[in-house]
Structure 1
Amino acid sequence: MATTNERLAESGREAALADDYGLTAEPSWREVDWPRHLRRAQLGAVTVNFVALGDARAEAMPVVFVHGLSGQWQNWLENLPFAALSRRVAAPDLPGFGRSPLPAGGELSIPFYASVVARLCDHLGFERYVVCGNSMGGLIAAQLALDQPQRVRGLVLVSPAGVSSATVRALPVVVAGSAIRLVGVYGRRFHGAVARRPRARALGLGLVAKHPERLAPDLAFEGLIKGAGKPGFEPALRATLGYDLRDRLGEIEAPALVVWGADDRVIPVRDAEVWKSRLRRCELVILPDTGHVAQLERPRTFNRLLASFLEQVDTGA
């Protein structure tokens, strides 16, 4: 019988051979009545905008999705409807991003963001849960697993920050984040034209996605461009750069699935081996011809990997 890692890797290889880049996952996010699922919560002194869906009666482990720098909950548009078929799911706009206001004082940190996600899970009644994070969101997820080891039962990390971003080799993160921010400002003014033109998408999102011109225009805007240019960008960038959890990764007890694009231009794929070697229980899948946002670039592949991992968490395998 194939090992878990072999099954996950084979799933990734099959999907890559089918070349599913940019193909919409099922069920389609375009068929969801998103306003019906949007919520706001007052979590102490912090106001958080979030989306929540799924059957409250489902016994499967809930999942909370955490976006990265210059992101918003829509970074998970292609994944939320799929995950919600079998469980409760939620995705917040972190303070300073999306429609969540920047906290008073404007100071942000990775532990603060982890505490916000934990408080949101309290608000939703998630006693135990899986955390899925991309980029900065992956670093937040790892911090939360350290802070709440009895509650975080699994980690899904998509190109997580925390290795190169903890050293002086952080320039690609800064450049990519700044580029997305500028695209967001431009996109709010001319978003229709930018989204419709493949060359404009390639120019604005080329550091983030491997083939932005192959992403659907509405997904490029809703999932990437729309979340940029928010007041949390600079303080969150400062909070991420230099924050080093590498020596603590071995303390994380929860199993982890790490997914990385082989052509990630924001956080180098070589960082994946650090996560693989330092986490106690880690499955690593590297997707070929994929950039920094695998969950949006190859949602069908990603959702299959996610489903396989969540099944293991649900059964305690």
Structure 2
Amino acid sequence: MKKPLVVALISIVIGFAIWAGVTYPRIGGEVLALASKIETTLYGLHRAEIEISDSRLMSWQGGPKDSAETVVMLHGYSSEKTVWMRFASHFTDRYRVLILDLPGHGETAFDPALKYDSVSQGERVLQALDALGVAKAHIIGNSMGGFIAAQIALHHPERVRSATLIDPAGVVAPNTSDMERMRALGRNPFEMSSREEFDTFYAMTMSQPPWLPRMILDYMADDYIARRESLARIFHDFHDVDMLDTRLSEFGVPVLLLWGERDRLLDISSAEVWRQGIPGAQLITYPELGHMPMLEDASGSSRDVLDFIAKHQ
């Protein structure tokens, strides 16, 4: 084979490899977006923008607008509104549902001028409720979202019918989680620079994750890598800031705690800190689930929350 032809073939192979490496995860993102659009439509959710003082919050909203009860769902750090899709489908027949992309997450832009601590984010959630004319709501939050929900319940009990905290951040765990052990060695699993590091992180987030094709996982990995700097800033603003250990006795709203016993990010030992500290708090744990029960078992966890909310309308 002549040398020019060999060089041409090698160039074609290299070009195809580069094209595949760039395009393949991008297709995964498009597939994920399409699947999410189809599912949310089936579940009666629609995309809507909410203008507040310092942000344009993207959201999914659904359920009867004239419902006397509103349920707000707040995702965790580095996550987005899609984690609530299937969970929310169990609420939209009877409750007005609001699922937010918090600033710096999902479709809501990151702005380095903003503060991302749990109190500031909680104030933005209240501004969103004001914009929608909602005076009082049931607040559900996972992880960082649980921390934010707790801050809202503590500082603005008049706005909260009930608070459901799912594997929430916000107190010091008696036992060390896998994440904290990694951080003690100088590595935050949320901050990654390769798809291999994403795979390690993803395995920590859930014990029973929903199946996703590789192209979607690679798209998610590339997205985390691209957001590394903004995620580091958000983590710095909220992690171990305005902790609630000494203020739990001040809670004056009904509180339900849900926790996956296989949580590797926030250790299950935190659950008893919350339960013992908050007057009347209820705790339900899931032996087979991890950090995101609402995604790992949408049907079972939503049933527990619906039963709780029904008692506090």
Calculate the TM-score normalised by the size of structure 1. Answer: 0.75
* Structure 1 position 142 matched with structure 2 position 150: yes
- For residues 294 and 170 of structure 1, the distance between their equivalents in structure 2, rounded to whole angstroms, comes to 17
Q: Structure 1 residue 236: deviation in Å?
A: 2.1
Instruction: Please tell me whether Structure 1 or Structure 2 has the larger radius of gyration of its CA atoms.
Output: 2
**Is it true that 1:77 corresponds to 2:76 in the alignment?**
no
Aligned match of 2:131? 123
Name 1:90's counterpart in structure 2: 98
Moved more, 79-88 or 201-210: 201-210
CA–CA distance in structure 2, aligned partners of residues 278 and 204 of structure 1: 31
CA, structure 1 residues 30+288, in 2 after alignment: closer, same or farther (shift >3 Å)?
farther
| Alpha-carbon spacing, 1:143–1:42, altered in 2? closer, same or farther (3 Å) | same
Alpha-carbon spacing, 1:123–1:55, altered in 2? closer, same or farther (3 Å): same
Q: Which residue matches 1:257?
A: 256
- Would the alpha carbon gap of residues 111 and 221 (structure 1) be closer, same or farther in structure 2, given more than 3 Å must change? farther
Q: How many residues align?
A: 269
2:179 is the counterpart of 1:172: yes
1:94-116 Cα offsets, whole Å, 9 max, x none, are 11111111235243211110001
Q: Deviations over 1:44-82 (max 9, x none)?
A: 1222111111111222x2111011111111121121121
Aligned 8 A contact 1:95 1:232 in 2: no
Aligned partner of 1:217 in structure 2 is 212
Q: Contact between 2:179 and 2:189, CA under 8 Å: does it hold in 1?
A: no
User: Could you say what the CA RMSD is over the residues aligned between the two structures, in angstroms?
Assistant: 3.2
Structure 1 unmatched runs, 5+: 1-27, 187-193, 195-199
Q: Does 1:269 align with 2:268?
A: yes
Aligned equivalents of 1:308, 1:209: Cα separation in 2: 24
2:157 alignment partner, SS class: coil
Q: Distance in 1 between matches of 2:248 and 2:150?
A: 8
Q: Retained in 2: the 8 A contact 1:202–1:211? A: no
1:236 matched to which residue of 2? 234
* Secondary structure in structure 2 of the residue aligned to 1:286: strand
Residue 50 (structure 2) aligned to one of 28, 41, 46 = 41
Ranked by relative contact order (alpha carbons within 8 Å, sequence separation 6 or more), the top structure is: 1
Specify the SS of the correspondent of 2:205: coil
Gaps of 5+ in 2: 1-35
Distance 1:262 1:169 in 2: 14
2:179 partner letter: P
Q: Is the 8 A contact 2:262 2:268 kept in 1?
A: yes
Paired residues of 1:180 and 1:225 also in contact (CA < 8 A)? no
Aligned AA for 1:310?
I
